[in-house]
Structure 1
């Protein structure tokens, strides 16, 4: 197998593959990079750990960490499935060629894994990284928005439509929520996640908050869900997933569940709530309709990989 260490890594930096035990250090690096942007940190620690444990990701082959001479982690990259990637460089070490070297490695690893197209998500405010990707032939193809709503007073929750009931998430709801959300997301996502992968990024997160996550039912069937996270160290609520079964849409179920989650957050002293959505879901107008506004935007950039 070819050596896929970062090509031409600048002296005196060193690299190694990551392990799951590196999650905390990687999160500190990602947070430092996000703090340098106007939006501030948006990535939770348990999400970094979940990424390192993705099914099919082999840390020895699919990750690289870069260290400075003092042994501090200053850069990282990972590739999953030959099609998704992430590259982060600490702000104090940008402009030294680390980003280019890690991007070279990511593309080489994606080609070796059989990938034909590689993508990466960047905040619109991350101008240096956007410029680097564009200089390498990447083009944006999906827009993502972080939306927010201010909750100075406790929000009212509309009543359910006829035949619908709702309550907060309980143990045992996991499989039904998985089926519901994956069915809903099948309309735009590239592949259907197995339950274990889905759970690792939703109900399996340490920050998953059942008491803030309302679910709706038609009889015994779950037809709507808002899955929320209670993230420590912030005064904001965060909604991770919103889904309504296709045959129950346009009945006000999503609006009801969102308002119920917002009210639950407000009662716990969180007077702002946020969530992310993107252009392929077609849900932006839904969130704006419940009073949310765009706080930040980002884009997914993609590039066809030429064979070598």
Structure 2
């Protein structure tokens, strides 16, 4: 089993999903607000639940919690084809991140991974410097974009043969159709295609999924239908609620290749923006990665960059 080196007085053990989640969410929230200010949203329990629901994920071997001399949670990490490491601001500068990085890489080698990807906020100069020191090299960037919802234009009419309607809450036909569209749209960019159950944990089965803010684009008369949708789903914008925040959030935006360059993605975004505004929210946000090539679309609809993160990659020893 991968080992971890810690400073004197610190202890490590695996996550107990039945007991540790409240403390872990507090740690994640503290890390985000240290970087982005007190207005940053609290950590989303649904995002953490999606990590723990990854097929084959075993908290007993794929997670580490580090507690400080006072018994409080100081850091955590997980590794299972992807990875994450967070150190509480009050415990930085004590080489906890270095120790956890060694554990992450050791665990990834045990799992047979050839490469590791880390995503670090560009404001985290210490984290970026550490990863570069240990052989990680920039691979791309990701951005959090936002838009104010107080002066939205009227959405244009949909293209011929396209109907826009909200996602039907709990409808398995809509869920399966959205999964197909999202996974096919990103097939060339993502390392692997997610099976439905794993994907759904990240999207439509999260407690914060907001179907009323999640429009679908339906193509009529093309000879194919998706169950009870009344046509074939060719575009989706899936939105999440962020409790305690004035921001709406777009988790996924995807359009079938055969229907791109028709203005469908922009139209779906505009419908989501208006639904967020109607829900009393003041802004809407989303993350995008440089590999998707979508940032120009978001800038054209009036979104601006809030935060930037650097995507780094390292080839692991065999």
- Report what 1:271 is aligned to: 282
Match of 1:131 among 129, 132, 150: 129
**1:232 paired residue number:** 243
1:19, 1:52 within 8 Å by CA — same for their partners in 2? Answer: no
Please give the residue correspondences for 1:199-214 in structure 2 after superposition, counting only pairs within 5 Å. 199-214=200-215
Q: Distance in 2 between matches of 1:284 and 1:154?
A: 19
Matches within 5 A, 1:136-151: 136-151=134-149
Contact 1:63 1:76 in 2 (8 A): yes
CA contact (8 A) 1:121 1:300 kept: yes
Aligned partner of residue 165 in structure 2, secondary structure = strand
**1:16 matched to 2:16:** no
- Give me the CA root mean square deviation: 1.3
Residues 167 and 214 in structure 2, CA contact (< 8 A), matched pair in contact too = yes
Question: 1:164-218: CA deviations, max 9, x gaps?
Answer: 0010000231000001110001021110001011000000110000001000100
* Contact map agreement 1:23 1:49 (CA 8 A) in 2: no
Give the equivalent residue in structure 1 for 2:68.
68
8 Å contact kept, 2:183–2:193: yes
* Residue 87 of structure 1, aligned match among 79, 82, 85: 85
Give deviations 1:222-242, integer Å, cap 9, x for gaps: 001100011110001111100
1:140 to partner: Cα distance: 1.4
Q: In 2, distance between residues paired with 1:80 and 1:286?
A: 32
Residue matched to 2:216? 215
Paired with 2:84 and 2:95, the residues of 1 have a C-alpha distance of 16
User: In structure 2, what is the Cα distance between the partners aligned to 1:187 and 1:301?
Assistant: 19
In the alignment, the residues of structure 1 paired with residue 199 and residue 283 of structure 2 have an alpha-carbon distance, to the nearest angstrom, of: 26
Normalising to structure 1: TM-score of the pair? 0.95
Contact 2:50 2:201 in 1 (8 A): yes
8 Å Cα contact 2:31/2:87 also seen in 1:
yes
How many residue pairs match? The answer is 302
TM-score by length of 2: 0.92
Alignment of 1:25-40 (within 5 A): 25-38=23-36, 40=40
Q: Describe the superposition over 1:125-148 as per-residue Cα deviations: whole angstroms up to 9, x where unpaired.
A: 011111111111111102101111
Tell me, what secondary structure is at the counterpart of 1:152?
A: coil
Cα 1:155–1:45 shift into 2, 3 Å: farther
2:182 touches 2:253 (CA, 8 Å); kept in 1? yes
Where do 5+ consecutive residues of structure 1 fail to align? none
Q: Is 1:242 aligned to residue 253 of structure 2?
A: yes
Gap runs ≥5 in structure 2: 221-230
> Structure 2: how far apart are the matches of 1:56 and 1:77?
17
Contact 1:77 1:106 in 2 (8 A): yes
Q: Where in structure 2 are the equivalents of 1:50-69 lying within 5 Å?
A: 50-69=50-69
Shift of 1:111: 0.8
Q: Structure 1 residue 42: deviation in Å?
A: 6.8
Whether the 8 Å CA contact 1:154–1:267 is kept in 2: the answer is no
How far residue 43 of structure 1 moved from its aligned partner, in angstroms, is 4.2
Residue equivalent to 2:227: none
Does the 8 A contact of 2:247 with 2:281 survive in 1? yes
Q: How far apart in 2 are the matches of 1:42 and 1:198?
A: 23
User: In the TM superposition, what is the alpha-carbon distance from 1:5 to its structure 2 partner?
Assistant: 3.5
- Separation in structure 1 between the aligned mates of residue 42 and residue 69 of structure 2, nearest angstrom: 28
Select which of 100, 103, 107 maps to 1:102.
Answer: 100
2:35 aligned counterpart, secondary structure:
coil
d(CA) in 2 for partners of 1:224, 1:76: 37
Runs of 4+ in 1 over 3 A off after TM superposition: 39-43
For the residue of structure 1 that corresponds to 2:244, the secondary structure is coil
